[in-house]
Structures are given as structure tokens and as C-alpha cells.
Structure 1
Amino acid sequence: MAIASSSCSSSLRPLHHSLFPKYPSFSCNSQFRPPLQFSSLRFPFRIRASSATALEQDTSTLHQDAFEVDLFACPICYEPLIRKGPPGFNVPAIYRSGFKCKKCNKSFSSKNMYLDLTVTAGAKEYTEYKPVGTELFRSPLVSFLYERGWRQNFNRSGFPGPDEEFKMAQEYFKPAEGGVLVDVSCGSGLFSRKFAKSETYSRVIALDFSENMLRQCYDFIKIDNTILAANLALVRADVSRLPFSSGSVDAVHAGAALHCWPSPSNAIAEINRILRSGGIFVGTTFLRVSASTPAIMRPFRQRILQNYNYFTEVEIEDLCTSCGLVNYTSKVQQSFIMFSAQKP
């Protein structure tokens, strides 16, 4: 879908080895470069003749609303959405707003707690089902258990734990500080909430295809007023059809997600599309084969996990490169990998 690109002048910075005192087996296969520079006028608004009647507002909120319109885009034609509703970018303001595509005229509304920006939003009869690995996480039970025991089991495969993973990701994302971050396949919002509370980014979007995961995310958010009022939005969307304008996002995070995607290549190509030049993609997943996996067990491990897309380190790098990302780097412990790449 995309071809590998040559390196550019702005790229990522190295992770500090001091972040991993407990994980001496981590290895890094590339170096980062100086951080991106973000100007103070990051999100200029656009006024087009076709949107003249879309909103009634005073001039004091024009710039704010225009930014929000330009960020969310129609998942069908990728045109910016027109918003009607209360101003502001936070969970209550977003879910009380209505959105409409000014090109294809499709409307999108909230489900009381999240904004549905899937292609099938509003469909009355048609229902679309994903592969088993995706549908599992739409289950109310799995969504409820995700942060109540399910995620904790990841440490058996070498995951260092949410707090350490968050610190690692923040190091990769340093060049994108002050920008827009999208946490794709966010699940119950474990990392979305951490990104929002850090106040490192101007906007954080918690995005998942599972309605029940987003409901769990909202349940966690509503008991913490600091997050409820933060620049955070909950969005239902397909990672292979992301509802953002091309080049509108500075950072994309995908925690323990790559192996669940029906088409990882389509998803990473979409991530490449929405990232700004120099934008950063960081993901974690389980490796299909790691150095600590006994050779005799490798065929059985893959057979047991056949409902998911598990890759080797080399395959993940090749996937990112083939989708047009550059400056790939990774850190590995047992079956855990955190990898990062950059939009040229």
C-alpha cells in the first residue's frame, strides 16, 4: 500500500537506558535524532464557502471550534466534520455535540459517552462482525475484566507493566509534546487516561472499535474530575479507517493491539496517513517467537494463538517500513516488544 521512504531531517530521539534498570535484556536497533519543532500556530483553521451555514457562534470561539472541525474527519470521504454543540474538547462537550460531513452529508452522533465515527454509524439494519480476536474484546465481560485481572497477566510474557510502559512511550513521544495524540485500540483507556492526566498533549483521543471497552473507559473517567475536564475525547472507530484528516495527528499509540487487528498492514498505512510529517507511532505487542521461547515449543505456541496476528521482530520492522514509516526502533523483553517508527 505504501513504499519505504528515505530518512528525513527530523526524526526520533533515543530512549534513555536508565528507564530500564530492571530489564537488562532490552536491545535497541537504531538511534533517534533531534526532536521536532512545533510552532505556536499549530492548527490554523479553514473557512470554506460550503461550510458558511454550518455553525452559529461568536468570534471568541471560532478558532477553537474550527480546530475541532479540522481534526475529526468523515471515515467515508475523509472530509473535515462540521460540529454543532457546546464548545470545548473534553468528554462531556464532545458527546453532547453532533457532527456532519459537509461532502457526503453523513451525520455522526454520540452514544451518551463516546462519539461513533465508524463507517456503519447510524445503520439501522446492517450489522458488521469482525474476526474472533476483535469480537472477543466487544464482550461486556472481557471489557469489564480487562483492567481487573486480564491485563495483569501480560507480565508473564515480559510486559513491564502499565506504569513502566507509559514511561517508555513518553520517552518516544517527547518530540510530539504539545501535539495531538491518538490512542488507537485503547481498550478500557488504561493508557489514554495516563496520557490525558500527564497534560503533555493538547488533545488526547481514546479510540476503540469496542463499544463496551469505551463504556468501561467512561466509567473510569467519570470518577476522576481531573480527567473528565481534560482535553480528552472517546471515539469509536475502525483502526483501518481512522476518522481524522490526513496529516492532522502528531502521535499514535497502540498498546498491546497489533496482534488483534484484522489487517495490520491496512491499520499502519492508515496511521501513516493521519500522522504529520515527523509524527511518531509507538506500539506494543506479543512476539510470535522470542529468544527465550524453546525451539520445540514454537510451533505449538503459534497454533494455540492462531486467532491473533503474532509477528517476529523482523516482520514488524518490515511491516512498518513497507507502510512508509522510517527510523524504526524497538526494545524487547521475552515476548514483549515496544517499537516505534516515524512519518517521513
Structure 2
Amino acid sequence: MATASFSLQPLHKAFSIPNYPQLDSNSRFRPHLRYSSNGFPSIAIRASSTVTLEPDTISQQNQSAELFACPVCYEPLTRKGPLGLNLEAIYRSGFKCKKCKKSYSSKEIYLDLTVTAGLRDYSEDQPTRTELFRSPLVSFLYERGWRQNFSQGGFPGPDEEFKMAQDYFKSVEGGVLVDVSCGSGLFSRKFAKSGTYSGVVALDFSENMLRQSYDFIKRDAALLSSNLALVRADVSRLPFTSCSVDAVHAGAALHCWPSPSNAVAEITRILRSGGVFVGTTFLRYTRSTPGIIRPPRQRFLQNYNNLTEEEIEDLCTSCGLTNYSSKVQQSFIMFSAQKP
């Protein structure tokens, strides 16, 4: 079998970003976006020590500072670097936990906010399904044939799924959306380009999925300059402060999580009051599946956490979510629930 080769350009090269300047406390950043001959934006930053921060800048700074949290102790991270929830600003920023003193930084194109970030010697084995999606080949193939096969299970296709999700997210438009287990960023890009949200965080545990996501993003200058950030994190240990996120999306993901209950509990924790969680997954079987078919199907899917309609609703309810609703087509389900 032929293997795919990659030539990903580090973010600092694509953006042509100079070293971050040291400015005094009265300085203000003024980013000016230009487009170079290769189609990618480069940023020129001028500092002025005579202008005070405007209210919207202060609001942006506070929002950014309160969003990310240490995955070890959940304390809000302090940030040193330019403002903004976008690739360029996140890349040039450093983050540190005041409580446990652990530091976090970008790995070329994504911010690593896993518990194991920065460790040199320690390693741990992950479930087979987790390691599968960390593979460079699977990451490369995900939008090049892998995802298209989901139609055989009843998935209506990315465009229709996006429209369905947007309907569920109507009440949280203008807020921050986190696309957990984003894979190659298929839906993260759609959410960011929609202009519906103040910020979109594309989050995945797979380093190669995040690299592939950036490979797609860098082809679109509008996405490169949008409020879209790439973050590596564990869905069972989300690096966000409690009640800080307006919307969480999980596309074709729940069945791959080692512990769906831990993940949904974490999603509930980070959602604001009124926040919405929308997910899609493969069902183990539906209410209409004949009883004779259920045991073989359950054995076939035993390597994944495929749940039933009833189990998904029970899980969301037990984690404190309300207003549950769902749409089912064959083994496809899109469900939504809200934090009170």
C-alpha cells in the first residue's frame, strides 16, 4: 500500500511573522494584514505607547484570558502575547498556569493543552481506535474518501449536517464554539467561514489530524485571518474554564471516545448556562431495528462505544443537560441538548 507523504509548512513561515517584540504596559498592538505573493497573509505590527486600550480590545483580552484553562488543575491560564483567538495570535502566545506553574505553547501550528504536553520520558498507551486516528495515513484520507463512506450508514453529508447543526445553534449565535474531536477540521472550517461565531476552536487529540486541518486552512486566506484556533486536547479533560463556552459540536465522534460519560460531563462543565451541545454518531441500533439483527450488530461494533438512542438521551440527562432532541436516519443520529 502506498503511503502518503506530507510537506507541512510551519505556521511562522507561512505567516512570515517576526519575533514578538517586548512592549511596555501602555503599548497597543495594531496588526496590519497584507497578502504576499504566495496568497498567505503576513502581519506587520506597530506599537504606540500613547493610545489607551479601547473597551472592545479589553473585552477581547478578558475573553481570551478566561477561556483557556490548565488541563491539570482547571485554573485559568495567563497569557503572554498578542490578543485574539486565531492561528497567528495563538502561535505567538505563551500560556502558563499560576497554580501548578506548568507552561503551554504552540507546536508549530497548534496549541498543545494536553496533560502530557511537554513531557519527555512519560508515555501511555491509547485505545486502538484512538491511535488509528493519530495515523498520518488515516488523517490524510479522512476527507479524501473515509468520511464519504459515512453515507452508507445514513449520514446525510457534511453540507446538510452543517445546516442541521446551525439550526440547533441558533440560540447561541455570536458566542464561542468548540468543535471537539474535529478531525481534519471539516466542520471547524464551515463554522469559522459562516461568520456566525465570535471564535471557533478546532480541538482534537490527534496531532496528525490537526496538521491535516491546518493544511486545509492555509489554502484559504480568509480562514487564516479568521477567529479560528487549533488546539490539541483530551475530550475527557477539556482545557477550558467552567461555564466559558457557548456551543460544543462533536461530529461523528462519540462512538470513538474512550469514555463518552466523562466527555459529556466535561462538555457540560465548560458550557455556559443556555449553551448548546450538538453531536452526531453511529447508533448501535435504532428503535426500528429488528431484534434478530441487534446481537450481531452489537458484536460487530464492540470495538467502539456505539450507543442506542435511549442511552444517548440518558447520558445527556444524567450529566445535567436538558431540552434533548434528536433526528435519526438509519444508523445516523444528530442530537442536541442544552445546559440549564
Same fold (TM over 0.5): yes
Does the 8 Å contact 2:64/2:83 carry over to 1?
A: no
Residue 341 (structure 1) aligned with residue 330 (structure 2) = no
Residue 191 (structure 1) aligned with residue 187 (structure 2) = yes
Does the 8 Å contact 1:283/1:339 carry over to 2?
A: yes
Tell me how far 1:291 sits from its aligned partner.
Answer: 4.9
C-alpha separation in 2, matches of 1:162 and 1:142: 18
Does the 8 Å contact 1:203/1:232 carry over to 2?
A: yes
Unaligned runs of 5+ in 1: 1-54
- Look up the match of 1:218: 214
- Look up the match of 1:30: none
Does the 8 Å contact 1:137/1:143 carry over to 2?
A: yes
Greater RCO (CA < 8 Å, at least 6 residues apart): 1
Does the 8 Å contact 2:75/2:99 carry over to 1?
A: yes
Say what the alpha-carbon RMSD is for the aligned residues.
1.4
Tell me how far 1:77 sits from its aligned partner.
Answer: 1.2
- Look up the match of 1:139: 135
Residue 178 (structure 1) aligned with residue 178 (structure 2) = no
Does the 8 Å contact 2:185/2:213 carry over to 1?
A: yes
Residue 114 (structure 1) aligned with residue 107 (structure 2) = no
C-alpha separation in 2, matches of 1:135 and 1:56: 45
Residue 304 (structure 1) aligned with residue 304 (structure 2) = no
More strand by share: 2
- Look up the match of 1:100: 96
Give secondary structure in 1 for the equivalent of 2:302: coil
Does the 8 Å contact 1:96/1:112 carry over to 2?
A: no
- Look up the match of 1:158: 154
Match of 1:66 among 59, 62, 77: 62
C-alpha separation in 2, matches of 1:294 and 1:113: 47
Unaligned runs of 5+ in 2: 1-23, 28-51
Tell me how far 1:242 sits from its aligned partner.
Answer: 0.4
Match of 2:309 among 301, 313, 317: 313
C-alpha separation in 2, matches of 1:212 and 1:235: 12
Tell me how far 1:93 sits from its aligned partner.
Answer: 1.5
Does the 8 Å contact 1:118/1:237 carry over to 2?
A: yes
- Look up the match of 1:275: 271
Tell me how far 1:294 sits from its aligned partner.
Answer: 4.6
C-alpha separation in 2, matches of 1:91 and 1:183: 15
Does the 8 Å contact 1:287/1:312 carry over to 2?
A: yes
Does the 8 Å contact 1:326/1:341 carry over to 2?
A: yes
Does the 8 Å contact 1:92/1:113 carry over to 2?
A: no
- Map 1:6-25; keep pairs closer than 5 Å: none
Match of 1:204 among 195, 200, 225: 200
- Look up the match of 1:42: none
Tell me how far 1:64 sits from its aligned partner.
Answer: 2.5
Tell me the TM-score normalised to structure 2 length.
0.83
Give secondary structure in 2 for the equivalent of 1:296: coil
C-alpha separation in 2, matches of 1:262 and 1:72: 23
Percent identity, aligned pairs only, is 78
Question: Closer, same or farther in 2 for the Cα pair 1:69/1:306, shift >3 Å?
Answer: same
- Look up the match of 1:52: none
- Look up the match of 1:243: 239
C-alpha separation in 2, matches of 1:56 and 1:76: 30
| Number of residues of Structure 1 aligned to a counterpart in Structure 2 | 290
Does the 8 Å contact 1:65/1:83 carry over to 2?
A: no
Residue 129 (structure 1) aligned with residue 125 (structure 2) = yes
C-alpha separation in 1, matches of 2:143 and 2:321: 31
